[in-house]
């Protein structure tokens, strides 16, 4: 099936009250594993690229592989640039073949966020590429690899101050013409130190205001019932990465610990870890309700 952008995919999800899983895939093995599950489940899927994985010549290699996967997959596939802040790099990704991009201006003053998001939208829409923006800020709840990285003992001052403000949403969407909007309602990137407090009343209010589909970042570790309720309250795209990595890395650690030697071919070593990763994808597709949407 052909490569698609997010507009039709997420508008259909919003109309029919389900979500679509968006999975960061750092390499070819991960991408193949995710799309295999999407085909099994007859679900649309979003493959996301992270800036750290796309530096230098890797961008071209990654895109070449992903475009071939999308072309040969029997369900709709969107290639989405996740959490990018450099507009020149975003343009390079659009030129290279991404069907969707995210400009993350959530840490900027709102006027600057609007201006830069609009600049990305104006460029992307010339090529039929969709744009996701973020209003409010989804922070980090993990030691290590994340946007900033937070110590386990860190207590954020007034985290509710970073929630998306309903009074700003309509104007932001109108001024930027963005295609979907990531909202901050209590989730965090990475592995949670404390169970998240999802502000469902805020989410319901935002859903009534928003003219475009809404996105939830920080889906890894969010309780299943909270994900289901979030989708029922308007979330159309759920971002997942840390849970996939955890499943893969725990399993590969187990495989190495029981191995009689370390000269294991990657094809053999990665088999069970990739199956563990696929089980996470399978569970998330079921949770957001996108299974069996493609006939």
The answer to whether 267 is a known ligand-binding residue is no
Does the annotation place 83 within a ligand binding site?
yes
Query: Is 80 annotated in some ligand binding site?
Result: no
The one catalytic residue in 24, 82, 140, 179 is 82
82 tagged catalytic = yes
C-alpha dist (Å) from residue 128 to 6, 76, 83, 98, 170: 10, 16, 19, 10, 23
> 111: annotated binding-site residue?
no
Distance from C-alpha of 130 to C-alpha of 20, rounded to nearest angstrom = 15
Q: Is 217 annotated as belonging to a binding site?
A: yes
CA distance to 49, 133, 168, 287, per residue, from 118 (Å): 22, 10, 15, 33
Annotated binding site: 83, 104, 134, 189, 217
Annotated binding site for Zn(2+): 83, 104, 134, 189, 217
User: Catalytic residue positions?
Assistant: 82
């Amino acid at each position: 099936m052909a490569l698609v952008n997010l507009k039709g995919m997420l508008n259909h999800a919003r109309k029919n009250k389900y979500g679509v899983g968006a999975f960061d895939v750092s390499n070819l093995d991960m991408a193949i594993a995710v799309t295999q599950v999407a085909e099994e489940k007859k679900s649309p899927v979003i493959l996301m690229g992270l800036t750290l994985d796309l530096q230098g010549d890797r961008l071209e290699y990654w895109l070449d592989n992903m475009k071939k996967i999308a072309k040969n997959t029997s369900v709709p596939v969107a290639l989405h640039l996740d959490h990018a802040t450099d507009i020149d790099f975003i343009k390079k990704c659009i030129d290279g073949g991404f069907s969707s991009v995210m400009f993350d201006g959530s840490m900027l003053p709102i006027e600057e966020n609007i201006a830069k998001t609009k600049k990305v939208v104006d460029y992307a829409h010339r090529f039929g590429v969709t744009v996701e923006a973020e209003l409010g800020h989804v922070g980090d709840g993990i030691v290590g690899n994340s946007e900033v990285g937070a110590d386990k003992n860190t207590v954020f001052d007034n985290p509710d101050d970073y929630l998306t403000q309903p009074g700003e949403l309509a104007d932001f969407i109108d001024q930027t013409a963005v295609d979907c909007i990531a909202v901050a309602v209590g989730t965090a990137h990475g592995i949670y130190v404390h169970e998240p407090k999802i502000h469902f009343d805020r989410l319901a209010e935002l859903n009534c205001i928003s003219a475009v589909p809404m996105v939830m970042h920080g889906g890894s570790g969010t309780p299943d019932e909270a994900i289901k309720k979030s989708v029922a309250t308007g979330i159309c795209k759920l971002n997942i990465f840390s849970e996939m990595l955890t499943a893969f890395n725990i399993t590969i650690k187990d495989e190495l610990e029981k191995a009689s030697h370390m000269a294991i071919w990657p094809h053999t070593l990665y088999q069970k870890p990739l199956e563990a990763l696929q089980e996470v994808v399978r569970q998330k597709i079921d949770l957001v309700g996108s299974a069996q949407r493609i006939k």
